[in-house]
A and B are shown apart, each in its own frame.
Chain A
Amino acid sequence: MTIIAPNLGAAARGTAATRRMTRGANPADRAYQAVVTALALALPALLLALIVELTINAWPSIERFGWAFVFTATWDPVADVYGAGPLIFGTLASSVVALLLAVPMAFSVAIFLTEFAPRWLRRPLGFLVELLAAVPSVVYGLWGIFVLIPFLRTVVVPPLKAAFGWLPFFQGVFYGNSMLAGGIILAVMVVPYIAAVSREVLNAVPSSQREAALALGATRWEAVWMAVLPYGRAGLVGAVMLGLGRALGETMAVTMVIGNRHDISLSLLQPGYTMAAAIANEFSEATTSLYLSALFEVGLTLFVITVLVNAAARLLVWRTAPGRAVGTRAL
């Protein structure tokens, strides 16, 4: 399993020595360098082109609705009025629910695999967790419809409502397709990502850290909690952000269980909608040009939010890890 994540480490900083070696090299080397440089620059160029293209296509909608697009809740293709508030809310809310469920689980898996599991179990178990990432999302969606939702309806929600029905998060009639179901599906989907990266992070913590804590009389649990986790903090934050990025953009599995309703509700039992799901659902039959443009603006908004999240992740990593290499290396 390969998880590609930003490399902030030393590898990116080409040393002066290697640079000196390549400068005066032969033509073949120079050609090679040119090709590699061009390919590397092509990626940012592609990104830029994407932004430009999205903005051009979204322009009629941006011009027509302005900021109201982001803050209003009416999505009416018949009247050609579009407000993406519920989509933005649904995207963020389902991702937050997913992280609340996935992070404790993924960290537990990572801690178990690196600190507590017997050696013979580590590889097969780690492999199985990562295998979850290879399941196509439409399969998760089907599982959601035919297994998760009936399970929620009969087993989980009735006692949940009985105990916490007074909270705004558990109000209303539960039909199955809901923010809760969407969040749980997303959680299952992001666990392997977060678990795999955090396992690498924890593996990279030098054993001297553990040994020092144990020597001071800490229990194994205390050693993990007080020595290992703080050391890998930056990397763990990065792992979570990677999971969040994935949750924000997930489309198919979510649309199959979230209920696809343009509505903002605090209750997790009510249906919602996400930006990615709306684009996938409505793009092919968007008949008016403003409709199409509004969907492009949804895409642009999703793009901007994803970039902001990634930027926030970077800031967090830098903030929490002054001078520490371990977490960032694993990232």
Chain B
Amino acid sequence: MARSLLVALIGSALALPAGAQIKLTGAGATFPNIIYQDWVLTYNKQTRGVQLNYQSIGSGGGIRQFSENTVDFGGSDAPMNDSAIAAVGGNVLHLPTVLGGLAVIYNLRGVSVPMRFTPQIVADMFLGRLTTWNDPRIAAVNPNVQLPRSDILVVHRSDGSGTTYVFTDYLSKVSPEWQRRVGRGTSVNWPVGLGGRGNEGVAATVAQTPGAVGYVELGYAEANQLQHGQVQNRTGQFVTPSVESVTAAAAGAMAEMGPDTDFRVSITNPGGAGAYPIASFTWLLLRKQYADAAKAGALVSFVWWAVTEGQAVAPRLGYAPLPPALRPWIETRLKTITAGGRPVWPGPK
């Protein structure tokens, strides 16, 4: 985080031309931090008079700062709940920016093909109901794999995290027992397992412990070449997580959202062919009404740039781009933002 802050600082220093400056400050989720810093750097360089700044302090902190009006926009991996929205008088819009997928990683020596997991297997492992790898239920969907007899050790995030929210949201959808006993949240009361701090903590513990299973952000799993499995989606396909299959998940979920969605939707376990089921949007939090028209206009222009041109860098940085079909919906929503009763953004040029 220190490095990305430094990048942001240098970025804003480079982008300091003489003349009027609009300063826009945001804070929140750590998951999209890498791409947000990249966007901020690029946008500050190519747009005169606007100076953006994003601090990755965590989704909870982002929502708090946004609610207390200390930042112009927030970032969150988990949508604000109804009571949090009521607390800001409903003055918030959730805008999706990119997508992230989660990989189910494991440590099974001698297993070279990707393991296949059904939703029930994933849920039961994390509920502590499946305890050995050579369980007949795992063997049934992995007929070509010589499964070891080792115990299953569950590794989860110990720090509160949007990643955990997405994973537990998925489990809540596919397992009524999970929904009843554990539920969804940035931290939950895990039935079994060890906690690792951050993606790196989970990955290190899984890599060190034979028989371990855990979940990390897809980009992280790919960059570190961690063994990860295919997960069965709603149409019955076993899907490998990838930038494409995560974007496909959002496209599949769009059918259920409808164009007048408030975007506060979870897209885990979506329908649609080729959709990877454990994926999520990450959101920017904007206000419906701003006080300063110039500021609001600059901010909305940036967001529109990010969800269109900005998407090109996503795959390289380990994020899945939004499906292009989503753009008109976002455009409609951005046009409703006002300052002093007037719309601040006329639409794309």
Contact = CB atoms under 8 A, between A and B. Distances in A.
User: Do A and B actually bind?
Assistant: yes
Interface of A: 74-79, 145-146, 149-150, 173, 175-177, 255-256, 259-262, 271, 273, 277, 280-287, 292
Contact of B205 (A75, A177, A277, A283): A177
B5 interface: no
Interface stretch (B137-145, B194-202, B333-341): B194-202
B209 interface: yes
A285 B160 contact: yes
B205 A176 contact: yes
B57 interface: yes
Contact of A149 (B187, B197, B208, B212): B208
B204 A262 contact: no
Contact of B78 (A177, A261, A271, A287): A287
Instruction: Say what secondary structure dominates the interface of chain B.
Output: loop
A39 to B, nearest CB: 31
Nearest to B160: A285
Nearest to A74: B189
Interface in B43-64: 57-61, 63
A284 B160 contact: yes
Interface string B26-70: 000010000000000000000000000000011111010000000
B116 interface: no
B57 A281 contact: no
Contacts of B188: 76-78
Nearest to B165: A285
B94 interface: no
B197 A260 contact: yes
Interface of B: 30, 57-61, 63, 78, 81, 84, 151, 153, 158-162, 182-190, 193-197, 201, 204-205, 208-209, 212
B197 A255 contact: yes
A281 B185 contact: no
B341 to A, nearest CB: 32
Contacts of A262: 189
A285 B208 contact: no
B195 A260 contact: yes
Given A78-B189, A287-B186, A260 B194 contact: yes
B60 A286 contact: yes
B159 A285 contact: yes
Contact of A285 (B58, B195, B212): B58
A146 B203 CA distance: 12
A79 B205 CA distance: 28
Contacts of A287: 59-60, 63, 78, 81, 84, 160, 185-186
A294 B180 CA distance: 23
A77 B194 contact: no
Nearest to A145: B204
B1 to A, nearest CB: 10
B205 A78 contact: no
B187 A285 contact: yes
A271 B205 CA distance: 13
A78 B151 contact: no
B60 A259 contact: no
A75 B189 contact: yes
B278 to A, nearest CB: 19
Contacts of A277: 158
A112 B63 CA distance: 56
Given A146-B204, A260-B197, A281 B209 contact: no
A281 B197 CA distance: 7
Contacts of B162: 285
A285 B212 CA distance: 25
Nearest to A262: B189
13 contacts: A74-B189, A77-B160, A77-B188, A78-B185, A78-B189, A173-B151, A255-B197, A256-B197, A261-B194, A281-B195, A285-B161, A286-B187, A287-B160
Contact of A145 (B30, B59, B161, B208): B208
Contacts of B60: 284-287, 292
A286 B209 CA distance: 29
Nearest to B212: A175
Given A256-B197, A260-B196, A285 B205 contact: no
B58 A175 contact: no
A259 B195 contact: yes
A146 B58 CA distance: 27
Contacts of B201: 256
B160 A282 contact: yes
A179 to B, nearest CB: 12
B118 to A, nearest CB: 24
A262 B187 CA distance: 12
B158 A281 contact: yes
A255 B63 contact: no
A274 B236 CA distance: 42
A78 B171 CA distance: 14
Nearest to A270: B194
Contacts of B204: 145-146
B195 A282 contact: no
B189 A281 contact: no
Contacts of A79: 183, 189
B182 A78 contact: yes
Nearest to B30: A284
Given A176-B205, A261-B195, A284-B160, A78 B183 contact: yes
A38 B298 CA distance: 48
A281 B160 contact: yes
Contacts of B30: 284
Nearest to B186: A285
Contacts of B182: 78
Given A78-B188, A145-B204, A285-B61, 5 more contacts: A77-B188, A78-B189, A260-B158, A260-B194, A285-B59
